Amino acid sequence: MQQLTLDISLHDGYRFESFYIHRENVDVVNLLGQISLNQQSGQFFFWGKKQVGKSHLLQSCCQRASAAGYITAYLPLKLLAKHGVYCTKGLSHAALIAIDDIDSVLGQPIWEEALFHLINETRQNDQTLLLGANNHPSLLKCKLPDLASRLIWGASYQIHALSELDKFLALQYRARQRGFEIPDHVISYLHNHHPSDLNTLIRLLNRIDKKSLATGRKVTIPLIKTILRKNYLDT
């Protein structure tokens, strides 16, 4: 008999704990952990390709700092750009400001100037500023030289992408965090039969989680096959 599952969000949250750490990202994650507890102030730039976890890490940092009692501001510019530059104003009270997707507004004079002033202010107020973009700061297409020189001011860190296999191991890691196991041979099967795009994998994880909870079954290859078949029928 199927068990009724509570309608709870299967979102793992933007937490350091839910971030699968690739060996090349160990330093970056440790650094962000220190920053979030205000052990380091200044300007830090984090860059990497799409889906490497920049937003996850920046938000983890905000969440932890906020939980410690600091005021934080997270500005995902890809979403906020259309509303104008007002969101960059009045942030002098925030101990930590994280600006995500810088690349999405570069080339727009009004945005470049607003970011330039924001960086100046954070320096003057001794705030911690985290910047995230899809490329190294010196390779970003920035028109305002004053901003370009400020983007490279602090230390910059690359967030490295996970290998194909690592993405599946990240799935296994997240499952363990949710309290269930995906055995190695199932991971191996998925590696051979499922796309490795992280968003798709997370959606799959949600389905596996729900299905195994509802049926009370362990995660096995037949269960995965059922889910994938249903997935296919749904689409």
Q: Which contacts qualify for 25-33: CB closer than 8 Å, 24 or more apart? A: 25/53, 25/159, 25/160, 27/157, 28/57, 28/157, 28/158, 28/159, 29/57, 31/157, 32/57, 32/60, 32/61, 32/130, 33/64
Q: Does 111 bind other proteins (CB under 8 A)?
A: no
Q: Does 110 bind other proteins (CB under 8 A)?
A: no
Closer residue to other proteins (CB): 139 or 165: 139
Selected from 81, 136, 226, 228, the binder of other proteins by CB under 8 A is 136
What would the x/- binding string for other proteins be over residues 13 to 52, using CB under 8 A? xx------------x--xx--x---x-x-x--x-------
Q: Does 71 bind other proteins (CB under 8 A)?
A: yes
Q: Does 72 bind other proteins (CB under 8 A)?
A: yes
Closer residue to other proteins (CB): 139 or 214: 139
Minimum CB separation from other proteins for residue 21, in Å?
Answer: 13
Selected from 23, 50, 82, 83, the binder of other proteins by CB under 8 A is 83
Minimum CB separation from other proteins for residue 9, in Å?
Answer: 8
Minimum CB separation from other proteins for residue 215, in Å?
Answer: 26
Q: Tell me the number of residues near other proteins by CB under 8 A.
A: 60
Give the binding site for other proteins (CB under 8 A).
9, 11, 13-14, 27, 30-31, 34, 38, 40, 42, 45, 55, 59, 62-63, 66-76, 79-80, 83-84, 86-87, 89-95, 113, 117, 120, 124, 135-136, 138-139, 145-146, 148-150, 152-158
